[in-house]
Structure 1
């Protein structure tokens, strides 16, 4: 029985952080709600404490035990003060409107200082709304501040104790999530071997989206590692270094996964041996499967077992490739095979506890011990041009309008308007529009499902079961699918009101109206208050991406660059590319009148990502052998062209220099053909791919000089 329980714990909860998070919240609520109902027979106490648990769980961010203890202490103080102020001023509408505006603006702005305060202030704003919702059920003014804080404190105790029991658990979760994303990326990319041209656009779009998630996760890991460096004692730093090494490994494997050694449509058309291309696809799928296993081993602390089938596939592919030695694409395919073999070797080394590859082994991890999570000063945030300032203004105005509508139309539970605005509001118009759809659609489905379930479970125990199961499923789905999460939080609200006053079904229609109203206010605010359309961002994002790509490219062939600088340049190039891709993605959801230069933006985004993929392939093989002088000369010429592209995007390029560059790039094909005839130029093909895209970028840049001035 012990073994069965242990297996269930490992496979259901330890391998699935979302299940574990949901379990922590549900157990905390059950510990508070059930005694309140069965012993004290007071639903107000139980549901109020449950809301305190929810607010604290949604607002926790720190991954280090000491850091989480600090953030929990700050959150508890803010929760009590905010709830008290809300209760005191709520009977006086004009005064409360002022308090509401000041609190919302200051909390949003304070949340922009760092990630810790961002979570704490979000939870505090939830507490403000929860206090408004429960005001009419509270007999004494201090009941809600106390019970909400007690609920938040109870969850904090559970969460912090579990973290002290496994202090590196959350750091492992974030790294494991990164390896899972990388495995999903590789699995998607396997569909390109072989593939038809008409499906490649769809696959590349999916890859771009997955790469955004991967890059964001790598940045999250960076913030968490810096937090550990800041909070850890000197004796604990060697253990933190182990996870830095895994972070470096994740980035090195990302570079291998993103790299493109050739145009996929050319390979699919020109390589006659279809079994060989199928083999590359199968090898990538097996690497992805092994990477999932490795991510699970991080979560469970169980040794990673390298799949024997992966070793067999590598051996079989090497034999098949050797048979194609005289083929025209042998060199390209051999470089691709070396890249994939490198991924397999990375995983195999983890099985034997070899913690780093030859590049990251040269890193002095101690230099990262002084790094701290990024922080902004209030002076920086108090600038109307700063996105956080604009976000605070939009939300504050939406809350004031929502509160005014609540008073004017006498909405009893009108605080849900504020709740919806808080949840729906995102930094961009497109993200807000998408979240609005998920919220409204999920609420409608939740009302139908919730009323049905409430009728099937009419007893007290049935309503408690419904409340606990719905909050569990809400937290489980929150990071996976927000529409599904919205369904279950609506059921949770219905069950809570059934416990309070047996009026769960009665409040569902007002909830729908308030949800639509709050969502509409959020939409209108982000649409008309300082609208920040993506076409305005594209020139700056494109310029940044080209500059970072050039710096990354130069880091590869410039032997004087340190490994730390190389890692930084590579990561910032990936982040710049993802920012550009995200802007293009969000542009498609904006009003048609605001999608300026959509086709041009699509071409530039694709070219930049192709450039990054080819540079990544070049970077993968940077340590394999020295570049010849002719290869170095070509690299410098390509770098000059990329520098000229960035100057053209800022209208600082000389017209004669542009014409000279075009004449030089027109000679590249002949030059590279000659280089590839010499076996000493083994990476000429990789450089040619970079040069080819750089030339196309030069052409596109010439066509858009001055285009964005409007």
Structure 2
């Protein structure tokens, strides 16, 4: 079978990038070329360009492929059942399709085939177990709890297994719901017929087969979608970064830094998603045979742009004070904002397979910045020498971004000359899987705690439904399974969205059943609602809940009177949400406020490793090797994890949020620390021996020791040694006494190390505040599998 890899062509030069295609191409530019052929052909009546543009944008949306795939699967089932006059079978088939779609992960066609087969095996075991054990409630609930715990632990093996576990738990509950309502000749609530089980598995198998075929036909589309999103997020990051250069006194830099840190987390998430998609299609160890280096080049370019955009060459307040009466900071601000727009435009070009025009505006802005700097140099103001050196390096960084954006060209090229190795943290042998699972068998593990929480919650939910209404209560389990999240903050947010979405969905379902009593119309509305659920389920859960409620009630209306299910569904939702909230509160809760110091310690440890890698490149290595990229990505991942932890902490009870303000201050400081390190990394290159190397080595050693001491104190929640800050100010002063005639890279190295040293007292103060916070011992949680490369 063809692997569907793309064949791209590139026209190299300063002009616009043309995304072309070859006959039979299913790659990056196939659809764009198809539209070009349509527009060139004398077809009448001809579609308007506005309609073509809207259609292209719709097809380029990252959820369009997923939504269309689900729509086709549901529509085919509905059409066949309609044709064969078997409408009562639709709800069960729909549930099988939904479970299979929930278990789907991004992979190549071979990986997708393995995932589908494993999913169907798990689904079959789960459905058969429900049928066989349903008549013995005690054995059934014990098996349900044990299976839930084991399936949750599978998340330690990677996203594929976590999704399969989610789909399997969902299908188990769907099997109970199918038995609750009954189809065909089977009576509701009985175990006499296996027809429902067969229909569930048939629906799941049908979607799995469609998914495999779709992956083979559109092999690289997910890579393009993730790269498009990555450059869009980078564009927003650059625009937020530009706001820091606004030369206004008394500016609230802290708030802007926090916004930048939160956006940085989104960029890191997009980078990791792009890396995962590339790994799935182009190999996991850099082995030869990759047909195109395009995606690697775009990914590495995004990494480099992210590092350069993260760079901070001097405190913005000092620059504002020194150059308040100059336009140089406005020039920097405007250029960064334009480059952010260009990144977003590049993402759109990748997603829509259209030409990318960099434009002249950004080139003119770059020239204007250079002229502004030259004018300041001509003033020969001695007080500006050090700051002008930092601005020169900043301008060099921005020019490098400008050059990469203006010269980017897409081609049908090999990955020759690129280090195509990416770190793959997923286990690939049975031994690795067993080791990963054994590491989770401890109460210190986040997955162990969540698995135990889920198992007990579902067991309690089953007991409650047997007491409340045993014949129509399995929606309690479904609500509990989807609302109960690994952290209390995420559970609380999901709970509110679930209740609100259910209320909206019940109201809509009641109105639609009143307005459109015809079965045919209700089925079409159910189909549209299912499509809305899959498009919105990851980022608009309230809308997704409303949509799936409408779909479920309209489908179940085929089996009886749907109106009588409205109040039971609301009651089930409230009970399920209450159980999920109680489980998050009472069963080994993962309070972010009590483990904030551990997350902060991880950030500082990652900083120390990143510093080591950067200094090694200045002393010997240079380049962009795998170990450097791993250290850089680990630092960004740790910073993003801190941002996520603080976001969850904001939703926790008040007595656990005492360190929240200190945590946000630490986040802003860690982002500043990352900026100073990124500036060193962005300009890294081996330096020749210099007389001041001993001073630089002393500063590096002192920084490394201080960062490690802060990390250890945070991890152990012990006071920092009082001598940690002793002498750092004097050492920073010595580093900043830079001779006028010194190599620019030497000047950068000394200046950035001085800035890092001056940041240590503030970092230490924020760490002390968290260490001295509420004296609750937090368990040392097992680390999650590392992600980026």
CA contact (8 A) 1:305 1:351 kept: no
Please tell me whether the aligned partners of residues 187 and 285 of structure 1 are also in contact (alpha carbons under 8 angstroms): yes
CA offsets 1:652-677 (integer angstroms, 9 cap, x no match): 99x9x956653421313532442265
Deviations 1:352-371 (Å, cap 9, x if unpaired)?
Answer: 65989xxx997532586998
Q: Take 2:694 and 2:417, find their aligned partners in 1: how far apart are those partners?
A: 24
Q: For the Cα contact (< 8 Å) 1:230–1:369, is it kept in 2?
A: no
> Paired residue for 2:268?
215
Deviations 1:617-668 (A, max 9, x none): 2211123966955376246425423423432553599x9x956653421313
Per-residue CA distance 1:88-118 (angstroms, 9 max, x = gap): 3223322321221222122212233222111
Determine if contact 1:447/1:508 at 8 Å carries over to the other structure: yes
Determine which of 364, 367, 370 is the counterpart of 1:318: 370
Give the unaligned 5+ runs of structure 2: 1-34, 40-46, 187-192, 777-789
Match of 2:419 in 1: 364
When the two chains are superposed, the root-mean-square deviation of aligned CA atoms in Å is 3.2
TM-superposed deviation, 1:582: 2.3
- Is the alpha carbon distance of 1:70 and 1:629 closer, same or farther for their aligned partners in structure 2, counting shifts above 3 Å? farther
SS at match of 2:737: helix
Task: Report the Cα distance in structure 2 between the residues aligned to 1:361 and 1:544, rounded to whole angstroms.
Answer: 35
Name the count of aligned residue pairs. Answer: 702
**Contact residue 108 and residue 281 of structure 2 kept, 8 A:** yes
Output the CA distance in 2 between the equivalents of 1:674 and 1:309.
Answer: 38
Change in Cα spacing, 1:58 to 1:677, as seen in structure 2 (3 Å) is same
Aligned match of 1:510 in 568, 590, 599?
568
- Cα distance change, pair 368–399 in 1 and its aligned pair in 2 (3 A): closer
Given candidates 406, 409, 414, the residue that maps to 1:348 is 406
- Counterpart in 2 of 1:114? 158
Partner in structure 1 of residue 594 of structure 2: 536
Cα distance in structure 1, aligned partners of 2:278 and 2:738: 44
- 1:513-549 deviation digits (Å, cap 9, x = unpaired): 2112111211111111112222332232222221221
User: Would the aligned equivalents of 1:215 and 1:578 in 2 still touch at CA under 8 Å?
Assistant: yes
Contact persistence 1:635–1:687 (CA under 8 A): no
Say if 2:663 is the partner of 1:619.
no
Q: How far apart in 1 are the matches of 2:410 and 2:390?
A: 30
How far is the alpha carbon of 1:409 from its aligned partner?
0.9
Would the alpha carbon gap of residues 22 and 404 (structure 1) be closer, same or farther in structure 2, given more than 3 Å must change? same
Cα deviation, residue 194, structure 1: 0.8
Structure 1 residues 321 and 468, CA gap change in structure 2 (3 angstroms): farther
Q: In structure 2, do the counterparts of structure 1 residues 628 and 272 end up closer, same or farther at CA, with 3 Å as the change threshold?
A: farther
Aligned: 1:129 with 2:181: no
What does residue 581 of structure 2 align with?
A: 523
How far off is 1:164 after superposition? 0.8
Offset at residue 156 of structure 1 (A): 2.2
* Paired residues of 1:630 and 1:675 also in contact (CA < 8 A): no
40-49 vs 402-411, greater mean Cα deviation: 40-49
Rounded to whole Å, the distance in 2 between the matches of 1:367 and 1:545 is 22
| 1:110-132 CA distance string (max 9 Å, x none) | 23322211111111111111111
Deviates more, 1:279-288 or 1:419-428: 279-288
**Contact between 1:402 and 1:417, CA under 8 Å: does it hold in 2?**
yes
1:610 is aligned to: 672
Pairing of 1:169-184 with structure 2 (within 5 A): 169-184=221-236
The CA deviation at 1:338 is 1.8
Give, in angstroms, the shift of residue 399 of structure 1: 0.4
- Deviation of 1:19 after TM superposition, in Å, equals 2.2
Q: Is 2:313–2:394's contact at 8 Å kept on the other side of the alignment?
A: yes
Instruction: Indicate if the aligned counterparts of 2:422 and 2:626 stay in contact, CA closer than 8 A.
Output: no
Q: In structure 2, what is the equivalent of residue 261 of structure 1?
A: 313
* Greater RCO (Cα-Cα under 8 Å, separation 6 or more): 2
Matched, 1:187 2:239: yes
Q: CA deviation at 1:198?
A: 5.0
Distance (whole Å) between structure 1 residues aligned to residue 509 and residue 91 of structure 2: 17
* Map of 2:69 onto structure 1: 24
Tell me the alpha carbon deviations over residues 135-181 of structure 1, each in whole angstroms, 9 at most, x when there is no partner: 13133532222212222222223222222112122222223222222
SS at match of 2:356: coil
Equivalent residue number for residue 630 of structure 2? 568
Alignment of structure 1 residues 393-472 onto 2, 5 Å: 393-472=452-531
Compared CA separation, residues 509 and 101, structure 1 to 2 (3 A): same
Distance 2:53 2:527 in 1: 20
Indicate which of 494, 497, 506 corresponds to 2:553.
494
Distance in 1, matches of 2:252 and 2:505, equals 37
- Superposition deviation, residue 463 in structure 1: 0.9
CA contact (8 A) 2:286 2:422 kept: no
TM-aligned CA distance change 1:659 to 1:589, over 3 Å = closer
Distance 1:155 1:8 in 2: 30
CA apart distance, 1:408: 0.3
Matches within 5 A, 1:123-162: 123-135=167-179, 136-138=181-183, 139-140=185-186, 141-162=193-214
* Alpha-carbon distance between aligned partners in 2 of 1:456 and 1:270, rounded to the nearest angstrom: 68
Any idea what the Cα deviations from partners look like across 1:183-241, whole Å, max 9, x if unmatched?
A: 221222223331654543333222222211221232233333333355899774343x5
| Partner of residue 664, structure 1 | 727
The change in CA–CA distance for 1:264 and 1:377 in structure 2 (over 3 A counts) is same
1:237 match? 290
Closer, same or farther: CA 490–692 of 1 in aligned 2, 3 Å: same
Could you say if the C-alpha distance between residues 469 and 371 of structure 1 is closer, same or farther in structure 2, counting changes exceeding 3 Å? closer
Q: 1:279 to 1:507 in 2, by over 3 A?
A: farther
The more displaced of 634-643 and 439-448 is 634-643
* 2:438 paired with 1:379: yes
Does structure 1 conserve the Cα–Cα contact (< 8 Å) formed by 2:57 and 2:352?
A: no
- Other structure's SS at 1:112 match: helix
Q: Give the equivalent residue in structure 2 for 1:594.
A: 656
1:490 deviates by: 1.8
In 1, the alpha carbon distance for the partners of 2:288 and 2:148 equals: 41
- Cα 1:391–1:660 change in 2 (3 A) is closer
The one-character-per-residue Cα deviations of 1:47-100 (angstroms, maximum 9, x if unpaired) are 211221211112101321110111011112222221222123223322321221
Instruction: Tell me which residue corresponds to 1:692.
Output: 758
- Which structure is higher in helix share? 1
On the 8 A contact 1:10/1:300 being kept in 2, the answer is: no
Do the aligned partners of residues 697 and 263 (structure 1) sit closer, same or farther apart at CA in structure 2, a change above 3 Å counting?
Answer: same
CA separation of 1:133 and 1:626: change in aligned 2, threshold 3 A: farther
The question of whether the paired residues in 1 share the 8 Å contact of 2:489 and 2:648 is answered with yes
Q: Which runs of 5+ in 1 are unaligned?
A: none
Q: Which residue matches 1:554?
A: 612
**Residue 337 in 1 paired to residue 410 in 2?**
no
Distance 2:697 2:417 in 1: 25
CA contact (8 A) 1:676 1:685 kept: no
CA contact (8 A) 1:229 1:369 kept: no
Say which of 204, 225, 250 aligns to 2:257: 204
Question: 1:487 aligns to what SS in structure 2?
Answer: helix
Partners in 2 of 1:126 and 1:442 — Cα distance?
19
| CA shift for structure 1 position 592 | 1.4
**Cα pair 1:645 1:698 within 8 Å, conserved:** no
Q: Could you tell me whether the CA contact under 8 Å between 1:58 and 1:119 is conserved in 2?
A: yes
Distance 1:274 1:493 in 2: 63
